[in-house]
Amino acid sequence: MRISGGEEEEGGAIFSEGPLDIRHCTIEFNTATAYGGAIYIAETCELTVRENSVITNNSATGSGGGIYLALGRFPLVVTDSEISFNHAGLIGGGIFATFSNLASLVPDDYAKFTRAKIQANEAKDPLFFNAGQGGGVFLGLADVEQKQRTRSIRSLHYLWE
C-alpha cells in the first residue's frame, strides 16, 4: 500500500486514536502543519512499523517529521523498515515519541529498533537556522511529577542526530 500527498494539521497521512500496526506500506510526501508529517498517534496508543515499510520524505512544521507518538504506550517498535528523509521544524525529524508510563526507567524499554534503517532525517527550523533535537529519533518521558528523572532520561535519548 502507498499513501502519498496528504496534508493535515496533525498526521499528514494517518491520524490514529487506536493501536496502529503498519506492514508493507510506503508513506511518503505528506505534510502536517503542526505534528506528525506522515503519522500522528494519539495518547496511550501503540505503534508498530514492520515488514519492509518505508516512511520517507514527509514533513511537519512542529515535531515528528515522519512519526509523532504522543504519550504512547511503549515499546514503539520498528522492524525491517526504513524511516528516512523526513523533516521536522522542531524536534524529532524521523520520529518524535513521548511516553507517560514511568514503571520502567530502562531506556531499552521505550523503543525497539531491529534491522531498522533510520537515516537522513532532520530537525531544523529553516527560518532561524537552528538545529532541533533528535534529527533521527527523539524519545522522552512526559511525566511532570517526575521532573528530575524525566530530565535525565531525555538527555539520553537524542538518537541518530
Residue tagged 520520529 (cell numbers):
95
Q: Which domain holds residue 149?
A: 2-159
> Any idea which of 54-58, 70-74, 110-114, 156-160 has the lowest mean pLDDT?
156-160
The tens digit of pLDDT for each residue in 40-88 reads 998 767 899 999 999 999 999 999 999 999 876 667 899 999 999 999 9
Helix (H, G, I), strand (E, B) or coil at 127: coil
Number of domains in the chain: 1
Determine how β-strand 82-84 pairs with β-strand 117-119: parallel
Q: What is the dihedral of CA 44, 156, 151, 146, to 10 degrees?
A: 50
